[in-house]
Structure 1
Amino acid sequence: MVLLSFNLLLMLGVVSLYQKLVKMSDAQRIEAITRKLVSVKSVNGTGGEVAIVETVEEILRSFPIFQMHPEWVWTQKLPGDSLQRKNVFAFINKENATRTVIYHSHLDTVGIDDFGAIKQAALNSDELTAYFKNYSADSDIQKDALSGDWLFGRGALDMKSGDAVNLVNLLYYSEHPEEMSGNLLFMGNCVEENDHSGAIAALAELEKLKKQQHLSYEVAVNTDFISPKYAGDQQKYIYYGAAGKALTCFYIKGIETHVGNTYAGIDSTLVASRINTLINNNPEFVEEIPGEEILPSSCLLLRDQKDFYNVQTAKVTHLYFNTFTYQRPVYQILQQLKEAVQSDCAELVAELIKKQAAYLNKLSFPATEDKRQLKVFTFTEYLQSLRQAGVQVEQLMHDFWEAHADMDKREVGFALIDYLDKQVNDSTAKVVLFLAPPFCPHNSVAKDSAVYQKLQATLTAYGQTENFKMKQFFPYLSDSSYLAIDENEEEIGKLAENFPLAEQIYPLPYAKMRALNIPAVDIGVFGKGAHTWKERVYKPYSFEILPKIIRDFTTKVWKE
């Protein structure tokens, strides 16, 4: 494999890019494009997301087929996006064909601050390789750097190498049209690393293209990364579905009190701590799916709402979890969490009452009637309780949104509940469970489907050289979640009831997802250290074997 220097790639003009690529093997092409993409800083939430799309578009337009058909490459701006980010598409049309395979990948990355003292080298694969060759603090990464088989850099694994695989396979078919019996669509998405806005917006483009070209989307192939599960793991994991994700949120209002009368209140931070202990990393709440990596909820935020020092206990605390979903509908998960929290909160109040009674008795103070309560609601139950109290909920929600449209999406639900609660001005302690962005639906390909069987047959053919293991759910968050949805209309309706202002802050085109219903699989690049400064992709598999696997699978899918 030819090692292309970083400086050479910086000088590699896009106009002459194809002239450089045409002399290379596919593996060399993938490495060249990966290095070029890594050199473009495209951190999520920055203008670099625009720069990387423009770079990919320029690469595509250097291919002869797209110089002949420039209309086959286009971009789609995200509606209302302050950074003017966009998706990029490229389509190769096979005359009279309807069967279409989608290659999709995301173009943004996480930040580079974790590189610390070598931050300036985060986008320079050669400089990082040289650094890690002398990095004795981690023998594994030092060995990888010395081998020459690994490519380093932010995004090298997640997932600019995956972008490069898709681009080179697109180029391959443009040079070998006789091997095509169907259409090929490349889709490069922005904003994957947090809100998935790129993939969501792309649904409209997919729908439009399908109608205009009379396409049948047979499968979408994502090349998002895979990694070893344990030291020495040589298996390559291929996924025929995507796990979902819900951000399960808890608005917690206690009964504030002076620290000199601490037994009289309900400290919202104590309630939050109990809920965190109950839910965080608790396997009792996970689904049972044999052989799959089913992960428990993880706490992503726990923060009281005091903004200055005083000797009053915290009245309100915010708490939310990343909660993966696999087969169960989200509304059932919410109900399960609500019931568990309700039981735990009842125990907590009983403990608090008991502690205060013991304290008073110890001081020979007269016992008092303790009527403290801690109510637990889902969001829709909370709204119903307000309506029963005569509160004009819909008007208040409208007024709130008019004044808070620029608020962070994660904060909207908390602020709305706080706003509504102040209209009632009661002193009741409460926990309100709701959802906030992002929400990623779960989906998977049925084992009796043609897509599954063709994927299985493809992998079997490589069984002598690679050890593959098919898994149902890609264990990380994925844009593939939005290409199909397993939950039905009724289940989505129950979910939406507990998603405050969902249509305003995170409108998801559920009908489009259901109508498109594109089977999605992940056949990804292989590497280590994603989202860390030690991120690296393994070249022999990712650049040499993987592209052929994807092409063989594509060929099978195109055939009836």
Structure 2
Amino acid sequence: MLWQSPEQLEALLCRLVSWESRSGTQGEIQFPFNLREELSRLEYYTANPDFITLHDAGKGRNALSALYKNPNAQKTIVLISHFDTVHTKEFGSNSQLAFEPKKLIEHFKERIDDFPEEVQKDIESDEYLFGRGAMDMKAGLALHIHLIEKAIEEDWPINLLLVTVPDEEVDSAGMRAAVEKLDGIRIENDLDFSLFLNSEPSFTQYPDDPNYYFYSGSIGKIMPSALFYGVETHVGEPLRGLNAHYMAAFMSQKMEFSDAFSEEEYGEKTPLPITLKYYDLKEDYSAQTSNHVATLYNVFTMKQNAADIFNMYHNLVEETMDECQKHYESLCNREGVRPVGTIRTLSYKALHDYMTDKYGSEKVESIISEYVGRSDLDDREKSLHIANRMVTYCKELAPLAVTLFAPPFYPPVNASEEPLVRSLASLANNFLMENHDIEPREIHYFNGISDLSYVTYDNYDDSWESYKSNTPVWGRTYSIPFEEMQKLQTPFINIGPFGKDPHKLTERLHRKNAFEITPKLLEKVMEHCMR
């Protein structure tokens, strides 16, 4: 067998890490082809090549699925992972070492004084494997490959469907594409999905956190955004206009760390909102004030849906712009000048409808098409530029704040009360306590954001219509297969290996946990599901 012993698993992971697959690179495009070749070392896939399939995820990228099918079984466990990684700029000129774990640890040992004490201990202990993606999350993929091989060799009376995707670290285009194919794979192969098993690593909850976690839900992430369109003026006559930066500053002050969107479930709280990106859409430097500025805000959710968030956010922007107006008018009174106007607040849908009424749908579509076709802009920039261009055609609305959504959107999901998940939580606790003296802790909403957001969408929720109508690039360069997601009403759990410092120079994986303990735990999960 190829991937069963701890040594074999570590060698497999080192090979996966060596196939650099940073988001947006050629390596990410090539990775699934390398993986298909690796899996084809198993005679099972040589005999059944159609059981390995690539699924187009856009921009040359592909998700990969690999099916182990027992002819007498319908029950199926779907093994979910992602193979893209974040970039390696923090490695500087040594970025290539990020993909060579054996060389990287020696490099770190030579410079051990450069690291904090906790990291020094882990470097010297040889208990950790360092490298980009070693923890997040190629170890999870390696464990799934291990399960596939074991199922084949031991003829497990269950089906396993490995699904590994690109782009999780950016927009989850890979998972969104894979979800559109899952129901077809299920029907074609007469499968009954009984569990989605993700193996994202155990993330620390605070600095130096030694605890091992598993997850029965995944937190939601949504990005309410705003375009602030003011009235331009010369800097020598500042109150002859209304600076968009001035407007945006009021809103960022209101949103940053606001408790307006806070939720608490199972004793867990959503992290507070924060300004994620700030854009000045004035491209050049001049003595003219900027009349168009945009902001992206990060909001985490547990129960609130897209419509809940948008309604609350839009009202908050409206209230804040009223405060901005009052402050601005008081300045005008102090300086003895007349205000240039009253700030309005419109949703993107309202702006879209206003412009359609004024110019017709053909003109509106030409603006949208112009920006969605630009390869130099990402989906967030496209969204903001579309709204901005519409306002330039409707300047009678200025000064104006436009509320909208920018991609991506990760719906919150939770399976904590599912009977199968409760039994698996008990199994994990008993196995780890009895065999390894590890007391695991259940997190009900994985706060690292994950592709699980796209597998079990609320069957009765239609709030996504609000998301669609207020997302400028919806249906062009960004979409979410909500209808397909609603078909996947299946329990899920996230059980993965222990590591530290994801997305950092010192990203590392605990070798014993990853190559000895977690494989056995996942095998126990498989056994439980086969009953």
- Spell out the pairing of 1:144-223 with structure 2 (5 A cutoff): 144-177=122-155, 180-223=156-199
What is the CA-CA distance between 1:386 and the residue it aligns to? 4.2
Counterpart residue type for residue 62 of structure 1: R
Corresponding residue for residue 29 of structure 2 = 50
Query: Where in structure 2 are the equivalents of 1:265-276 lying within 5 Å?
Result: 265-276=241-252
- Alignment partner, residue 239 of structure 1: 215
**1:283 aligned counterpart, secondary structure:** coil
1:130–1:145 Cα contact (<8 Å) kept:
no
Residue by residue over 1:125-166, the C-alpha shift from the partner in whole angstroms, topping out at 9 and shown as x without a partner, is 112111222411322222111111100111111111111111
- Which residue, out of 102, 108, 111, partners 1:132? 108
The structure-2 alpha-carbon separation of the partners of 1:266 and 1:409, relative to structure 1 and needing over 3 Å to count, comes to same
How far did residue 394 of structure 1 move?
2.8
Distance 2:433 2:495 in 1: 15
Q: Counterpart of 1:311 in 2: which secondary structure?
A: coil
Structure 1 position 455 matched with structure 2 position 455: no
Q: After TM superposition, give the deviation of residue 537 of structure 1 in Å.
A: 0.5
CA distance in 1, matches of 2:145, 2:233: 62
Unpaired runs of 5+ in structure 2? none
Q: Aligned partners of 1:426 and 1:397: how far apart in 2?
A: 17
1:363 counterpart residue number: none
Question: Which sits farther off after the overlay, 328-337 or 128-137?
Answer: 128-137
Aligned residue among 233, 238, 244 for 1:257: 233
Provide closer, same or farther for how the CA distance between residues 130 and 555 of structure 1 changes in structure 2, counting only shifts above 3 A: same
Instruction: From the superposition, tell whether residues 204 and 357 of structure 1 become closer, same or farther in structure 2 (CA, over 3 Å).
Output: closer
Are 1:374 and 2:343 matched, yes or no? Answer: yes
Deviation at 1:319, TM superposition (A): 0.7
1:533 equivalenced with 2:500 (yes/no): no
Q: Residue 7 of structure 2 aligns with which residue?
A: 28
- The residue type equivalent to 1:439 in the other structure is F
Are positions 1:521 and 2:493 aligned together?
A: yes
Query: Structure 1 residue 294 and structure 2 residue 270: aligned?
Result: yes
CA distance in 2, matches of 1:230, 1:195: 26
Matches within 5 A, 1:381-460: 381-386=350-355, 390-392=357-359, 394-407=361-374, 408-426=378-396, 428-460=398-430
Aligned partners of 1:331 and 1:491 also within 8 Å: yes
In structure 1, stretches of 5+ residues that fail to align are: 1-17, 361-367
- Say whether 1:494 aligns with 2:466: yes
TM-score with structure 1 setting the length? 0.89
CA contact (8 A) 2:221 2:301 kept: yes
Superposed CA deviations along residues 248-286 of structure 1, whole A, max 9, x for unmatched, are 211110122222221232211111122112112323432
Matching of residue 510 in structure 1 with residue 510 in structure 2? no
Amino acid of the structure 1 residue aligned with 2:383? G
For 2:56, the equivalent position in structure 1 comes to 77
Percent of matched pairs sharing the same residue: 24
Identify the residue that residue 439 of structure 2 maps to in structure 1.
467
Higher mean displacement: 157-166 or 224-233: 224-233
Relative to structure 1, the CA distance from residue 385 to residue 85 in structure 2 (aligned partners, 3 Å threshold; closer, same or farther) is closer
> Matches of residues 103-142 of structure 1 in structure 2 within 5 Å?
103-134=79-110, 135-137=112-114, 138-142=116-120
Aligned mates of 1:498, 1:487 — CA distance in 2? 22
CA displacement 1:50-89 (0-9 Å, x = unmatched): 32212211221112322333332222233xx33x221212
Aligned to 1:482: 454
Question: For the residues of structure 1 that align with 2:355 and 2:129, how far apart are their CA atoms?
Answer: 57
Q: CA deviation at 1:110?
A: 1.1
Structure 1 position 393, deviation (Å): 5.0
Report how far residue 294 of structure 1 moved. Answer: 1.1
> In structure 1, how many angstroms separate the alpha carbons of the residues matched to 2:480 and 2:67?
25
d(CA) in 2 for partners of 1:421, 1:437? 21
Choose the corresponding residue for 2:301, options 321, 325, 328: 325
Equivalent pair of 1:115/1:122 in contact (CA under 8 Å): yes
Q: 2:293 & 2:340 partners in 1: Cα distance?
A: 22
> 66-75 or 494-503: which moved more?
66-75
The AA in structure 2 aligned to 1:508 is I
Per-residue deviation at 1:94?
Answer: 1.4
Matched-pair contact (CA < 8 Å) for 1:43–1:49: yes
State the Cα distance separating 1:292 from its structure 2 match.
1.7
SS at match of 1:463: helix
Shift of 1:340: 1.8
**Larger Rg over CA atoms:** 1
Q: Do 2:459 and 2:487's aligned partners in 1 also have CA atoms closer than 8 Å?
A: no
Q: CA RMSD in A?
A: 2.0
For residues 389 and 208 of structure 2, the distance between their equivalents in structure 1, rounded to whole angstroms, comes to 53
Task: State the distance in 2 between where 1:184 and 1:222 align.
Answer: 13
